[in-house]
Structure 1
């Protein structure tokens, strides 16, 4: 056969690739490749340590006896495949947890054979998902999970709580609710903050909770120094766990709020001037620490306090983790059983809590088990509100002023008048110096009041803004107590 009659190498590679792989694009334009019948997808341009599609294609061509090709032929073939894939239907990729058809959700076990857990209100089972339904994306942070045990009768949860040092049953119920929430890809969950005295096993407890979802390779990490590093860590895994926090700078606090409830990051695409890369993320988070200092009110509404106590009997790390690895299949199986049970029940959604989806989950868990999780969640938020107030001298001063008002009454002043009144109340007769960060103008005071408004409302102090024909005003009032049950009017 003459050289002119030979099939070009790029055509051989393209034909082989299209017969063995499925190509599609995501909403941000990234092209992925899926081996036929397998749910794991790889970006065709990736050169990561988890393996690129280029490497996968080269190995397949060699093992199937098609041949070994040079870089130019591979590049030309992949360029054509990528161009063709950009015209295909858009499909998302998921890390660890994904929505499925018919109200089901999926949990990636991180196995080479692609077997995953399908969770549905009617039950759960282990199967390889249809690539048209779920496309898994894996990174170095995607650890392998054991096959969950069937028919555990809830013993796995009991075994887990025996290893953790949670202070009481209410705290255990909140931890269980959070784990169930982590198996729901479309619902934000508050970040548990594992706290307690030194030696209470906060880091160990955090690892145990994380590894139920992320496998034995899941671990805690130090807080990143900037937003870019944080987003990189968040995008590479499902649960982001930060260890041994001692303080929360404002930038980190705001970024954590975005991670918990969802946000989008946009940055310039490499080697371009006008193109951009969009990164959408919403992930469960977990924090550990003895004390993080001042907590901003917007983050406090997204936290879940889990208190631990010092264990009476100490064990070696080797003994502890050997037992944990042994019980992990039963723990995962019991968690899946409970998740199915919770999703099958109906419960009223509380309308007074910011994380309404998690509050609804707590109500469902209470209906299914009678744990009292919703009550514990409200108590946790009250504790966090107290922490916010104790760390904010302006909030303390506003509460002190409001205590002099008659319940059910309001007081109106301009922001400058409020600044003068609150400053005089804080300084007192001895004219003590104002603390660092005290508002210096009426505008700054108004902005600070907007930030702490939910915290003050939780203590029965209402703040509102309005305008008259002359000027804008801020209204401060005390909430009137509810009437006795016999005086309430039924509608």
Structure 2
């Protein structure tokens, strides 16, 4: 009787798996399998999906002449392997982009052979990453990217801009800055909002930008109706693109803020009462739409408006994609060349902008290329502040009250007194009715002012809170000196 006949099936599977695969766990406790020498990792618990570890293990056993095994033997073997892996070292998995050693970052090309792009301030090249350095996680949304061209001399960037109908140079340089930011896993980037009149090609331009990072299978999607579905969609890819937005309810607006800057979701694990599943996410977002209505101040600081115009000469979709697809290797190569150049450039970090990492990237891009991305970014934030004020009657009323103050003058009242004063100012002598959503208590007013504080500060009105022994108060001040961001913008 042979040794294989003496050994139980689960032992044969376990020995084969440990010889041909590396098993490790993530910080969330999920166990992954990684074929020896290959950077792609698959969770061992995924079953019934294309490319699962269970399937690759079955195929490997069969092709190497070890036989075919029933489901119970595979389950017992994988249960043992999972238990053993929980005592191994912890290593994260990444989708599409990942940090590497020595200040490098990696871009997954989505290829079966594992070839990826290593980006470093000294240059970029194509290689298969060491599995100890990078573990790629792939889903059905992970499309394949072409091998990027070398020595493009910037021709790819020019080709991309010709295909997109950006209204001005400011939108063009901000789009380039965003693409560079998408290749940096540690930098939160604001969400581009492609806007313009009907027929400006917003959806087509959005697809073209997304497919530089996600491959030709990358596409736009409708905004999910609830938080859980949006988190699931975000976790399945790197860039999440939402098309044709016409309204942003508060819950979706808050969730987008979390996606851009990073957050964690915790929910009950299936088939358990006491265990939980945690998922961390921070992803680049891209939005398209003619108008999303009222924009909340916290989301406005995380948006990047890119304006498009209607083209003078119409082209068919087939013509546009027939030009885009063969140009994608050149576009990707030019983007990588520019990314290397930007990362090797030193620049000061603006200290007055909320998305400081992206502002620093814009400053680096300006220094490396002579563009005016940082100036364009500041101007876009000013436009968004105008949008916030135009959509918020409370903000308009506060600015109207501040206009009655002299420079340097301070107005101090309790929140209830402020509510009474602002309500009277809005209603006026004709006692016009208060709008829907107007604050009904001093506490509600105080909370609304905290959201509006950055927007009001950008218009030279400072709001602060304090208390005396008698009561809490809110200060409203018009400073005598220009705001810090206005001083920097003047240079």
Cα distance in 2 between the residues matched to 1:482 and 1:474: 21
For residue 103 of structure 1, give the secondary structure of its aligned residue in structure 2: coil
Kept in 2, the 8 Å contact 1:159–1:331? The answer is yes
Query: Cα offset for 1:49?
Result: 2.9
TM-superposition CA deviations, 1:194-240 (whole Å, max 9, x none):
00000000000000000000000000000000010000000000001
Cα distance in 2 between the residues matched to 1:482 and 1:104: 40
For residue 306 of structure 2, give the secondary structure of its aligned residue in structure 1: strand
For residue 192 of structure 2, give the secondary structure of its aligned residue in structure 1: strand
Counterpart residue number, 2:463 = 463
CA RMSD of aligned residues (A): 1.2
Counterpart residue number, 1:489 = none
Counterpart residue number, 1:342 = 342
Counterpart residue number, 1:142 = 142
Alignment of 1:81-160 (within 5 A): 81-160=81-160
TM-superposition CA deviations, 1:167-210 (whole Å, max 9, x none):
11111000000000000001100000000000000000000000
For residue 423 of structure 2, give the secondary structure of its aligned residue in structure 1: helix
Counterpart residue number, 1:448 = 448
Query: Cα offset for 1:72?
Result: 1.4
Cα distance in 2 between the residues matched to 1:231 and 1:307: 27
Query: Cα offset for 1:438?
Result: 0.4
Counterpart residue number, 2:266 = 266
Counterpart residue number, 2:321 = 321
Kept in 1, the 8 Å contact 2:116–2:127? The answer is yes
Counterpart residue number, 2:9 = 9
For residue 102 of structure 1, give the secondary structure of its aligned residue in structure 2: coil
1:204 maps onto 2:204 in alignment:
yes
Cα distance in 2 between the residues matched to 1:86 and 1:5: 30
Counterpart residue number, 2:414 = 414
Query: Cα offset for 1:9?
Result: 1.1
**What is the TM-score of this pair, normalised by structure 2?**
0.97
For residue 474 of structure 1, give the secondary structure of its aligned residue in structure 2: strand
Of residues 72-81 and 334-343 in structure 1, the stretch that sits farther from structure 2 once superposed is 72-81
Query: Cα offset for 1:289?
Result: 0.3
Change (3 A) 1:375 1:272: same
Query: Cα offset for 1:48?
Result: 5.4
Kept in 2, the 8 Å contact 1:408–1:480? The answer is yes
Counterpart residue number, 1:488 = none
Query: Cα offset for 1:5?
Result: 7.1
Counterpart residue number, 1:70 = 70
- Which runs of 5 or more structure 2 residues have no equivalent in the other structure? 484-491
Alignment of 1:19-418 (within 5 A): 19-47=19-47, 49-418=49-418
Equivalences, count: 483
Kept in 1, the 8 Å contact 2:4–2:12? The answer is no
Cα distance in 1 between the residues matched to 2:119 and 2:285: 22
**What is the TM-score of this pair, normalised by structure 1?**
0.97
Kept in 2, the 8 Å contact 1:49–1:140? The answer is no
Query: Cα offset for 1:479?
Result: 1.7
Query: Cα offset for 1:19?
Result: 0.6
Query: Cα offset for 1:2?
Result: 8.6
Query: Cα offset for 1:481?
Result: 2.9
TM-superposition CA deviations, 1:406-462 (whole Å, max 9, x none):
011111011111111000000001000000000011111111111101000000000
Kept in 2, the 8 Å contact 1:50–1:138? The answer is no
TM-superposition CA deviations, 1:99-140 (whole Å, max 9, x none):
000000000000000000000000000000000000000001
For residue 91 of structure 1, give the secondary structure of its aligned residue in structure 2: coil
Cα distance in 2 between the residues matched to 1:5 and 1:375: 73
Change (3 A) 1:405 1:3: closer
Kept in 2, the 8 Å contact 1:181–1:361? The answer is yes
Cα distance in 2 between the residues matched to 1:414 and 1:243: 44
Change (3 A) 1:162 1:5: closer
For residue 69 of structure 1, give the secondary structure of its aligned residue in structure 2: coil
Cα distance in 2 between the residues matched to 1:116 and 1:237: 16
Change (3 A) 1:289 1:410: same
Counterpart residue number, 2:488 = none
Cα distance in 1 between the residues matched to 2:48 and 2:468: 61
Kept in 1, the 8 Å contact 2:177–2:365? The answer is yes
Change (3 A) 1:417 1:113: same
Cα distance in 2 between the residues matched to 1:4 and 1:153: 60
Query: Cα offset for 1:314?
Result: 1.0
For residue 387 of structure 1, give the secondary structure of its aligned residue in structure 2: helix
Counterpart residue number, 2:429 = 429
